[in-house]
Amino acid sequence: MARRFFKSKYMPFTYKMMIPYLLIVLITDAAIGYASYTMLVKSRTEVTQTGIRAALEQTRNNAEYRMAEIQRISDLLFGNLPFQRALTKHSDRRSMYLTVLDEVVPLLQAPLELFGSPIKLTLYPVNPDIGESVGSSDTSPITRSDYFIQSFTVLQEASWFQHLQEEGADNLWFQTNLDQEQGNVSLFRKLVLFTDYKTVIGYIKITINLNSLLDNLAKYPEQGLGLRFYDVKTGHTLFEQLAGERGDKFLNLREAIAGTSFALEIRVPLDYLNKDAKRLQVTIGLICASSFLVMGMIGFIVATLSGRRMKRIVSFISVFQEGKFEQRISVNGNDEFELIARSFNRMATSIQQLIQDVYNQGVQKKQAELEALQAQINPHFLYNTLSTISSLSNLGKTREVTEMVKLLSRFYRLTLNEGQVLIPLHKELGQVEAYLDIQKVKYADAFQVYMEMDPEVKDVPIIKLLVQPFVENVFKHAWFGETIAIRITAKRVGEVLELKIIDNGIGMQPDTVDKLLRGGLRSNAYGLKNVNERIKLRYGAEYGVQIASIFGGGTTVQIILPFSMNTLPEVDITSYTLEHTGKGGDPS
């Protein structure tokens, strides 16, 4: 056969077909390799650039949101009239201590509970009667949300404040010398009286760390990226990290912070965007050369490896769909699968954090709503009393008008209790007596009241306004005849304090009692539900209000509270200072 081949000097057809086949494979591989190389480089460059742009935009959005939240906190304090009155109040040390404790500190603490990042809120009241707070140092780094009350003298001695006074600047973001050392930025604003908008009553400074403000880019894992946070007006750089040289070899991305003069700038080296180009070129060239010999083997290996990796990623996505967000993909290499795995892991981490943040915000919102119940006072009684006073005045009954005004003043003096939430039981019942005295002016002797209180419970501290809403409800809903009798008792039963309000009025149906406790009825029902919820919030679910009623036979309201012989705490005014525990704490 070989002899005949050489004698005939011809090339077999299969060999001839091999030449164009190899040329076609070579051209196809070269074209595919070139196209793949170009598309992969472009794709990776665009993905990297898009990721950097997305991180920059997200950081800008987060910074705008946090700065807007801080601005909103300053607006709330600026526009709060009770806060203004507290800052302008002048009185003895004890009264000022209670004023700051009840009217200033809660307004400083409330934003710290709701703001997601650690911030430092400093108040500089002009009023010298307001003492300074005692806590961690205002000059210490920001590790948790905290508030401070410092003397106005300290502010006047600060060089940065003197500079701002000379420029007449107000409500602006800037850096003090300490902020520059610690990497912080502060919002500074003066507080003025709403009566003239000129009288300065104090200043507030809210400080946040720049790492917290720029956490997305400050923690960005890639190397070689230059990050800069600067003031556009002055060109002053507030924060700079991994800064590279400026020039044509860098892609400069810039985002302005809305509502401020600040801007974010990130510098990306072009070599970073094209860092895999040479490696892709060599790899594709080797693949094209090797395809002549082992095309089938390469196809099989590539298909097997690709299918195995894709199957692994799909399995993790299926687990992720079931809500198991703790799973992470571990893929070795430097290709699309590794990029997908990293992106998947980042997405899972972000979703976990988002779920936790939403849960925490929901808990904080619910807690704030429950605490707001303690500040609600039903105004219907005041409206009715003022209407009665107006009617008596029109009838010329001057004595009754004078008596009614005096009793109303006494009622609200006991109700306010100098801003204290807790009140001794005997004062609570005294407030009820003041209310009944007002009703006596209106109804004369048309009702009888019997009040019994054991001596051992008269100093037990309870939250105020527990009994009066139920007594008021007797006059509004239970009275149907010429007269009515009311009996109020207070006694100790085991380890609980039992209060009862009993009347011989018209009574209620069982479904009416249920709606009354759930707040399903109008009129005073909201106040009754308020009392029940305030008791459970303060003392626990095992305490609260129970109502027993027989239609046509009267109603009994039972209030169950914990019994404690501890009297109300005395106020220490020997040294007028405010100590606090920072975020979420109560002054002590």
Query: What string of H, E and C letters represents the secondary structure of 372-401?
Result: HHHHCCCCHHHHHHHHHHHHHHHCCCHHHH
pLDDT at 134: 53
Q: In this model, does residue 490 exceed pLDDT 90?
A: yes
Q: What dihedral angle (degrees, nearest 10) is formed by the CA atoms of 103, 461, 414, 376?
A: 50
Of 94-98, 196-200, 352-356, 411-415, the one with minimum mean pLDDT is 411-415
With contact defined as beta carbons under 8 Å apart, do 501 and 472 qualify? Answer: no
Confidence of residue 242 (pLDDT cuts 50, 70, 90): low
Amino acid making up residue 4: R
HEC string for 77-146: HHCCHHHHHHHHCCCCHHHHHHHHHHHHHHHHHHHHHHCCCCEEEEEEECCCCCCCEECCCCCCCCCCCE
The pLDDT of residue 523 is: 46
Query: How many Å apart are CA 201 and CA 78, to the nearest integer?
Result: 10
Q: How many residues does the chain have?
A: 588
Residue 420 CB burial class (10 angstroms; 0-12, 13-18, ≥19): middle
Element (H, E) at 192: strand 184-192
Model confidence at 370, pLDDT cuts 50, 70, 90, reads very low
pTM greater than 0.75 (yes/no): no
Exposed, middle or buried: residue 214 (CB in 10 Å: 0-12, 13-18, 19+)? buried
Q: How far apart are CA 9 and CA 2, in angstroms?
A: 10
Say which DSSP state 587 is in: P
pLDDT in tens, 184-212: 888 899 999 888 888 899 999 999 888 88
Is residue 369 scored above 70 in pLDDT?
Answer: no
Q: By CB neighbour count within 10 A (0-12 exposed, 13-18 middle, 19+ buried), where does 73 fall?
A: buried
Q: What is the pLDDT of residue 454?
A: 92
Distance CA 371, CA 368 (A): 5
Tokens standing for residue 376: 């609600």
* Residue 418 clears pLDDT 50, i.e. is over it: yes
Provide the pLDDT confidence category of residue 310 given band limits of 50, 70 and 90: low
Please check the confidence at residue 296 and state whether its pLDDT lies above 70. Answer: no
Q: Is the pLDDT of residue 534 over 90?
A: no
- How far apart CA 485 and CA 554 sit, in angstroms, is 10
Structural domain spans, the chain: 16-269, 325-366, 376-562
State mean pLDDT over 130-143.
70
Q: Which CATH number is 376-562 given?
A: 3.30.565.10
Give the pLDDT of residue 586: 34
Please tell me which residue, 310 or 128, carries the higher pLDDT value: 128
**Residue 175 predicted with pLDDT over 60:** yes
Rounded mean pLDDT of 403-414? 77
**432-457 confidence digits (pLDDT tens):** 888 888 888 878 778 899 999 999 99
Q: Which of 414-423, 479-488, 572-581 bottoms out in mean pLDDT, i.e. has the lowest?
A: 572-581
Q: How much is the CA Rg of the chain, to the nearest whole Å? A: 38
Question: pLDDT > 90: what percent of the chain?
Answer: 8
Q: Token digits for 541? A: 């679910």
Helix, strand, or coil here: 452? strand
| pLDDT bracket for residue 573 (50, 70, 90) | very low
207 and 179 in contact (C-beta within 8 Å)? Answer: yes
Among 242, 244, 292, 293, smallest CA distance to 269 is for 244
What pLDDT is attached to residue 104? Answer: 86
**Does residue 126 or residue 398 have the better pLDDT?**
126
Better-predicted residue by pLDDT, 466 or 359: 466
- Average pLDDT over the chain reads 75
Mean pLDDT of 126-154: 79
Residue 335 has pLDDT above 70, yes or no: no
For residue 456, what is the DSSP state?
A: G
pLDDT band at 23 (very low <50, low <70, confident <90, very high): low
Q: Which of 32, 217, 201 is nearest to 128 (CA)?
A: 201
Percent of the chain with pLDDT over 70: 72
- The confidence score (pLDDT) of residue 478 equals 83
What values do phi and psi take at 18, rounded to 5? -65, -35
Strands 172-174 and 184-192: antiparallel
- Res. 559 pLDDT band, cuts 50 70 90: very high
Is residue 588 pLDDT above 70, yes or no? Answer: no
H or E stretch covering 231:
strand 226-231
Place 330 in a pLDDT band, splitting at 50, 70 and 90: confident
Q: What is the pLDDT of residue 364?
A: 64
């109040």: which residue's tokens? 89
177 pLDDT band, cuts 50/70/90, is confident
Instruction: With H, G, I as helix, E, B as strand and everything else as coil, classify residue 561.
Output: strand
Please determine, for residue 466, whether its predicted confidence score (pLDDT) is greater than 80.
yes
448 vs 364, higher pLDDT: 448
Confidence of residue 290 (pLDDT cuts 50, 70, 90): confident
Lowest mean pLDDT among 16-20, 51-55, 535-539: 16-20
What confidence score (pLDDT) does residue 333 get? Answer: 66
- Range 267-271 average pLDDT: 72
pLDDT tens-digit map of 144-170: 888 888 888 888 888 888 888 888 888
What is the rounded average pLDDT of the residues 207-231? Answer: 71
Distance CA 546, CA 544 (A): 7
- pLDDT category of residue 493 using cuts at 50, 70 and 90: very high
Cα distances (Å, whole numbers) of residue 58 to 62, 250, 251, 262, 360: 6, 21, 18, 16, 21
Q: Which residue has the higher pLDDT, 47 or 503?
A: 503
pLDDT of residue 224: 62
The one-character DSSP state at 521 is S
- Better-scored residue on pLDDT, 138 or 475: 475
Q: According to the model, what pLDDT value does residue 479 have?
A: 84
pLDDT at 570: 38
Residue with tokens 């080797």: 286
